[in-house]
Amino acid sequence: MKYKILIFDLDDTLIDNKENVRAAFKRMLAYRGLVYSGSEFEHWYGIDKRFWSDWQDGLVELPARFKHEVGKKSHEYLDWVRAQRVLLYFNNSIRLEYAIELNNVFMKALGETIHAIDGTHSTLQYLSKRYKLLVATNGPKIATKQKLEKIGCRQYITEILSADMFGYMKPKIEFFEAIEKKYADFNRSDYLIIGDSLKSDVGFGMNVGIDSCWFNKDNDELDDRYQPTISIHKLSELVDML
């Protein structure tokens, strides 16, 4: 194909995010002296997914002290945002400071136990010899780097582009504008975005005029609002396609 640069999503595209979140959730509960259960994990996982979806849609109300922040955010801002999931899980029965502490335990654990999606290593190894590979994620850059190192794939990725670098999350246009500004020779036709999320990855590509590949590993039905350029069910399909 015509592409020169492939932009991969991370969670549920290169790594099995649910299993990583499960391990981190166990660590957070143990830190608080609580016992893990599958039903409680599903409760946490649902809160986590809904919160970040609401965040992308601008449905989370910010305290007045943060409303002036644009672009790259302060550590205090990021701590407040990430702690909100913990507060929701514990029904606001703990202090914000302790929620931040628990979230820090959770975030650290996310970078320790990593499960790769089938075919990640061999696919990236092959593609890295033919394309420049980037990772664009709404997760923290440090945790992303650790995850890629844990699955033995960091050497295949030229650069990590993250929401905490730019201050905006996919699929916001500002995330794209930050990428465009970063690369002086940026040309939309050179890029292909690859990810599992119709909203954050395919929608991101549609928002900015870049081709997209939907990684539909769960064989979901396509939402008519989204139009991926190509679709795959296994990462290894990219080897033949590209």
Whether 138 and 221 share a structural domain = yes
Q: Where residue 1 falls among pLDDT bands split at 50, 70, 90?
A: low
Whether 124 and 233 share a structural domain = yes
Range of the domain at 124: 5-16+116-241
CB 182, CB 165: distance < 8 Å: no
Averaged pLDDT, 90-100: 97
Whether 106 and 122 share a structural domain = no
CB 201, CB 9: distance < 8 Å: yes
Whether 104 and 153 share a structural domain = no
Peptide linkage before 140 cis (omega within 30 of 0): no
Residues in the chain: 242
Among 79, 110, 141, give the residue marking a domain's end.
Answer: 110
Q: Where residue 179 falls among pLDDT bands split at 50, 70, 90?
A: confident
Amino acid at 212: S
> Average pLDDT, whole number, for the chain?
92
Q: Where residue 43 falls among pLDDT bands split at 50, 70, 90?
A: very high
CB 167, CB 70: distance < 8 Å: yes
Whether 88 and 134 share a structural domain = no
Whether 128 and 51 share a structural domain = no
Of all residues in the chain, the percent with pLDDT exceeding 90 is 66
Whether 225 and 122 share a structural domain = yes
- CA separation for the pair 13, 215 (Å, rounded): 7
The structural domain count of the chain equals 2
Q: Where residue 156 falls among pLDDT bands split at 50, 70, 90?
A: very high
- CA separation for the pair 181, 168 (Å, rounded): 14
Q: What interhelical angle do 17-32 and 38-56 show, nearest 10? A: 110
Whether 177 and 72 share a structural domain = no
Whether 90 and 197 share a structural domain = no
3-state SS, residue 234: coil
Q: Where residue 10 falls among pLDDT bands split at 50, 70, 90?
A: very high
